[in-house]
Amino acid sequence: MNWLNMLIILISSLIS
């Protein structure tokens, strides 16, 4: 998993 995927997951967690 690259940094972009990690960033998307992190942002998604914060939004939900």
From start to end of 1-16, where are the E strands? none
Q: For residue 1, what pLDDT band results from cuts at 50, 70 and 90?
A: low
Q: Does pTM surpass 0.85?
A: no
Task: Summarize the confidence of residues 2-15 as an average pLDDT.
Answer: 97
User: What does the pLDDT read at residue 9?
Assistant: 97
Nearest to 13 by CA among 1, 5, 2: 5
Provide the 8-state DSSP code for 12.
H
**Pairwise CA distance, residues 3 & 15, whole Å:** 18
